[in-house]
Amino acid sequence: MHRNAIAFLILSALITGLSGVRATEDANAAPPAGGEEARASALEPSANGVGRTDIIRSIEFEGNVKFKDHVLRQRLGFELGDRLDPFLAEGGRLTIAEVYRKIGYAFVEVSLDRDRLAQGNLLYRIEEGPRVQVDSVDFVGNEVMGSGTLAKVVKTTERKWLLWPFYYTEDAIEEDLERLREFYYDHGYLDYKIEAETEFSADGTGIRVTFIIDEGPVFRVGALSFTGNTRFTDAELRQQMELVEGDPYLKPTADRDATELMRLYREQGYIDAEVRQRPRFTLGSAGNLVTVEFDVVEGKRYRIGQIDVTGNEETRDKVVRRVLDEYGFTPEQWYNGRIAPKEGGGILETYVQRAAVAEEALIRPVNTADPNSDYKDVRVDIKEGSTGIIMPGIGISSDSGFIGRLVYRQQNFDITDWPDDPTGLLTPWKHFKGAGQSFSVTLEPGTEYSQYYVQFTDPYWRDRPISFDLMGRSWERYRESYDEGRLKGFVGFEQRLKGRWRRSIGFRAENVKVDDLDFDAPVEIRNVVGDNQLYGVRFGIGETAVDNRYLPAKGHVISAYYEQVTGDYTFGVLEGSYIRYFTLREDVLGRKTVLAGKIMAGTTVGDAPPFEKFYGGGSGQYGMRGFEYRGVSTRGLQSGPDVVNPIYKDPIGSDWIFLASAEVTVPMISENFAAVFFVDSGTVDTGSYRLSVGGGIQIMVPQFFGNLPMRFEIGVPLLRDEQDETQLFSFSAAGMF
């Protein structure tokens, strides 16, 4: 609100308060009470036939085009039948003017009819004037920071969302000045001076905004010092920091260093530890220096005592406790306040919540009976939610066409929790729950792809950090020149080792049926017509070193697999990937802008059939957005007695593939919505190198898709092979790499 309006309203409130005191001395002057009926009666004539003038009898507006009358009435803060106060009426005039100024009507004028005011009638006359559009935004005096960089800092711009004009307001300029000042301060320029000048066009419809900047000298880190630290030496603390003597003093970096030092202490049992950075600036012949002092308040060191789990009426205690065990959060261990901070919001709470499929999980330290104890008990509060779902529906995928869907899924399954009465089998969602296992039955008939499968997963097989997976699956898909059907059984184990490494082994038995060939199907496809029996054993090893295994924002994931297949064919498949996550920015709400880079490669060892080779494109495992599903592949030569002048047309798979991609996710309205920008590239054993760029939106719907968000993306190929098949738009239920 405009400063003059604020001052006027404060004065009005004071005078109103004094007049209210006087009013209590005269019962006849008291305002009517009793809600709408009282307001209605107050508008009626008094007994002597004269209308009362100490109430508001009408509120009217003239000249308003941008806003309807009812919109302006809602902004006033008073209504018909309220006590008539000239000061509040004047405050309403200022409020209306401010409403217009906030959307760009810089020259708006609002007047109040004083003659009608005396009769209890409020008439506001409005001269809206032109709505002022920002014509240009310039920066003057900036030498180190480029104008392009500063333009990204301010919100005032010539265009909003690249299409609509941006309108001028005083508040927007003031907010941009604060952004620029904070930006320079954060980058080590502490002696800056930044002002703004505005120049309206002759007709008042446009404005030129100029930010005048005196950057001043950059301040550099002169020395780093620590106070209050006894557990760690100065040298040990320095190893955790990004600040370095001689570098520019960056306040965000200093704040992050203080937070990281605090987490270092809390990880070692100092759950009350606090660390604050305190800069001291000096100007002198030696330069502009900042001595950064980190004040450490260590507090007392605690071990974990008794752990109590509460709120879990259906979920077993062990579902929670084995998560705590996996991360070393057990009695007699130092209380790890990094993964379970006393304020809440720690990563361990997320893991417990996911394991128990709970609406909420809270982990809090609790004082023991002995106030001098070196232990803290732990209370884990679980707020249980719905874990079973029967979900009918339909969907469409850019890779698989239209799909009908009927899913039964119990995410907190217990295979031992059988109902006492056999009729309970008719309502399985009321039983078979509480052990943290997962069981699903999925029926998905479709136009291009149909699948039917049953899957069971125990993330802690025999209460150890070993995932056990069992799956039976049948699916059919219409390929380019043939139909492919598979009937598969799979059993697998993955052990999570200490130190973030994991190893796995899996077995599959599968029948692949190829039939209904087109007249011009390639020879490679004709050679595998009929049933093909495959039996494979798959070995894997990898490392998951990320800050959050469900929504990673920092760290890396390494995976390598080899599968040896026998049966009607004998061959091997070797695959590997490396993914790296970087947090580019974190806003005040904790939402992170994340950059992820991925390198992925695979090769066959021996003579693999075409349905076991590699295909690029689409949004699947070897996806390349901007290209159709299986649109990047070695092509087979048309064959058949009716083929004249055969060409290389349909994909037959490649013996090896290589992909390199990068993408950025930027949080938008909430944690459930993000913008996505990506670069995908790669090649196969034939053709040139491929490259595409694009963007899209990501929507998280955990109630239906769990950890996988829905994505809608547009990709444009910049480099392609002439035989590749492209696709502009793609959508899927899949997360960042």
Confidence of residue 402 (pLDDT cuts 50, 70, 90): confident
Confidence of residue 24 (pLDDT cuts 50, 70, 90): very low
Decide yes or no: CATH 1.10.10.10 for domain 133-214: no
> What is the H or E stretch that residue 287 is in?
none
Q: Which of 1-5, 51-55, 705-709 has the lowest mean pLDDT?
A: 1-5
Q: What is the pLDDT of residues 628-644, one digit of tens each?
A: 999 999 999 999 888 98
Confidence of residue 92 (pLDDT cuts 50, 70, 90): very high
The secondary structure of residue 255, as a DSSP letter, is H
pLDDT at site 398 = 64
Q: Does position 325 have pLDDT exceeding 90, yes or no?
A: yes
Give the separation between CA 19 and CA 650, rounded to whole angstroms.
88
pLDDT at site 708 = 60
- What tokens appear for 390 in the block? 């029967």
Tell me the pTM: 0.71
**168 and 106 in contact (C-beta within 8 Å)?**
yes
The pLDDT mean for the chain works out to 87
Question: CB neighbours of 195 closer than 8 A, spacing ≥ 6?
Answer: 177, 211, 212
Q: What is the pLDDT of residues 38-61, one digit of tens each?
A: 343 444 444 443 445 589 999 999
Question: CB neighbours of 635 closer than 8 A, spacing ≥ 6?
Answer: 648, 649, 650, 651, 652, 686, 723
As a whole number, mean pLDDT of residues 349-371 equals: 93
Question: CB neighbours of 604 closer than 8 A, spacing ≥ 6?
Answer: 571, 572, 573, 574, 612, 613, 614, 655, 656
Give the separation between CA 735 and CA 737, rounded to whole angstroms.
6
The secondary structure of residue 527, as a DSSP letter, is T
Confidence of residue 11 (pLDDT cuts 50, 70, 90): very low
**Where does 479-733 sit in CATH, by number?**
2.40.160.50
**701 and 673 in contact (C-beta within 8 Å)?**
no
Give the separation between CA 549 and CA 581, rounded to whole angstroms.
11
Give the separation between CA 552 and CA 531, rounded to whole angstroms.
42
Q: Which CATH architecture has domain 220-297?
A: Roll (3.10)
pLDDT at site 607 = 94
438: closest CA among 537, 358, 524, 355?
355
Give the separation between CA 276 and CA 329, rounded to whole angstroms.
27
CA distances to 301, 336, 370 from 257, rounded to whole Å, are 21, 19, 35
> What is the H or E stretch that residue 117 is in?
helix 114-117
pLDDT at site 1 = 44
Question: CB neighbours of 37 closer than 8 A, spacing ≥ 6?
Answer: none
As a whole number, mean pLDDT of residues 350-372 equals: 92
In one-letter notation, the amino acid at residue 547 is D
Give the separation between CA 737 and CA 734, rounded to whole angstroms.
8
CATH topology of domain 303-384: Ubiquitin-like (UB roll) (3.10.20)
Give the separation between CA 657 and CA 633, rounded to whole angstroms.
9
Do 3-127 and 133-214 share a fold? yes
Using DSSP bridges, classify how beta strands 501-515 and 133-140 pair: parallel, antiparallel or unpaired. unpaired
Domain boundary assignment for the chain: 3-127, 133-214, 220-297, 303-384, 388-458, 479-733
Q: How many degrees, rounded to 5, is the angle at CA 633 between CA 628 and CA 634? A: 150
User: What DSSP string runs through 89-105?
Assistant: HHHHHHHHHHHHHTTT-
The secondary structure of residue 27, as a DSSP letter, is G
Q: Which of 340-344, 427-431, 719-723 has the lowest mean pLDDT?
A: 427-431
% of the chain at pLDDT higher than 70: 88
Q: What is the pLDDT of residues 245-265, one digit of tens each?
A: 999 998 889 999 999 999 999
Confidence of residue 591 (pLDDT cuts 50, 70, 90): confident
**693 and 625 in contact (C-beta within 8 Å)?**
no
Decide yes or no: CATH 3.10.20.310 for domain 3-127: yes
Q: Which of 225-239, 392-406, 568-582 has the lowest mean pLDDT?
A: 392-406
